[in-house]
């Protein structure tokens, strides 16, 4: 099947994996990268939804799994690398709010805090670690591999009720900075990106009364991330 006429030479053939790829920002990013010629694998928990999205985007690779579960990490990594024949970009996008409805920290169950950390911090850590071999191989081939961890302004601003989510995202941002420093000599970059407050199912779950018109569209945030990937892939002299 031929690619969309919007296929982008910079992104064509780029091997990208996205977690949380069946809704919100993940789905918007998946659609845009697929339309521009990237090879994309995506992970989400709902197998039926994964199959539906994969059917919509011919040539994409849907993988049903839960990044928060340690026992699934290596299987997910193997499926991603096998489906794409390697990996150039990993987007750790899957997120958990923790308690729903949102709760003050004093009213947050330990299990809800653990759930937020498992999905938002430990899951990206495990999956990135399991895919470092594929990312390093991409670097050796001169393909400029990149890991993008989706952060939040809640990582910096202490919003009441968002404690579990904010703490997990703050840790993810710092993890990203540390890993970027440690992997720089191996030519693997790790960046944390705040996509802004978006009109997504996750935000609706957190703030049911929010007016969607006041929120950023996930497609707009996805375009910004695609542009970031494009800039990263440009030769250094082109970026100067």
Please provide residue 149's backbone torsions phi and psi, each rounded to the nearest 5 degrees: -105, 125
The answer to the question of residue 99 being in a domain is yes
What pTM was estimated for this model as a whole? 0.94
82, 83, 94: which is closest to 60 by C-alpha?
Answer: 83
pLDDT given at position 36:
96
The answer to the question of residue 105 being in a domain is yes
pLDDT tens string 23-53:
999 999 999 999 999 999 999 999 999 999 9
70, 115, 100: which is closest to 207 by C-alpha?
Answer: 100
Residue 2: pLDDT band (50, 70, 90) is very low
Residues with catalytic function: 165
d(CA 51, CA 7): 24
Q: What is the DSSP letter of 198?
A: B
pLDDT given at position 9:
87
The answer to the question of residue 7 being in a domain is no
The answer to the question of residue 9 being in a domain is no
Helix (H) or strand (E) holding 18: strand 15-19
Do the Cβ atoms of 196 and 217 come closer than 8 Å? Answer: no
Tell whether the model's pLDDT for residue 142 goes beyond 70. yes
The answer to the question of residue 181 being in a domain is yes
The answer to the question of residue 10 being in a domain is no
Task: State the average pLDDT over residues 74-85.
Answer: 98
The answer to the question of residue 4 being in a domain is no
Do the Cβ atoms of 162 and 154 come closer than 8 Å? Answer: yes
Looking up residue 41, the CATH number of its domain turns out to be 3.40.50.720
Name the H helices within the chain: 24-35, 47-56, 73-84, 110-117, 123-130, 132-140, 163-183, 201-206, 218-233, 236-239
With H, G, I as helix, E, B as strand and everything else as coil, classify residue 207.
Answer: coil
**Per-chain mean pLDDT for the chain:** 94
Structural domains counted in the chain: 1
Tell whether the model's pLDDT for residue 235 goes beyond 70. no
The answer to the question of residue 6 being in a domain is no
Domain range for residue 46? 15-239
d(CA 158, CA 80): 35
């Amino acid at each position: 099947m031929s690619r969309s006429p919007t296929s982008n030479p910079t992104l064509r053939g780029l091997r990208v994996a996205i977690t949380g790829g069946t809704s919100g920002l993940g789905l918007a990013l998946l659609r845009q990268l697929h339309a521009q010629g990237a090879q994309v694998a995506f992970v989400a928990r709902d197998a039926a939804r994964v199959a539906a999205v994969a059917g919509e985007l011919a040539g994409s690779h849907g993988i049903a799994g839960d990044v928060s579960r340690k026992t699934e990490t290596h299987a997910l990594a193997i499926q991603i690398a096998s489906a794409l024949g390697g990996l150039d970009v990993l987007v750790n996008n899957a997120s958990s709010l923790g308690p729903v409805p949102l709760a003050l920290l004093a009213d947050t169950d330990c299990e809800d805090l653990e759930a937020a950390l498992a999905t938002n911090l430990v899951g990206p850590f495990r999956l990135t670690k399991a895919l470092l071999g594929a990312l390093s191989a991409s670097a050796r081939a001169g393909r400029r591999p990149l890991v993008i961890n989706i952060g939040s302004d809640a990582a910096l601003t202490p919003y009441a009720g968002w404690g579990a989510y904010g703490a997990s995202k703050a840790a993810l941002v710092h993890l990203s900075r540390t890993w970027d420093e440690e992997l720089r000599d191996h030519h693997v970059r790790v960046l944390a990106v705040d996509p802004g407050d978006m009109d997504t199912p996750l935000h609706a779950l957190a703030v049911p009364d929010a007016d969607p018109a006041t929120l950023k569209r996930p497609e707009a945030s996805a375009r910004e991330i695609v542009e970031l990937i494009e800039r990263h892939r440009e030769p250094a002299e082109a970026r100067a």
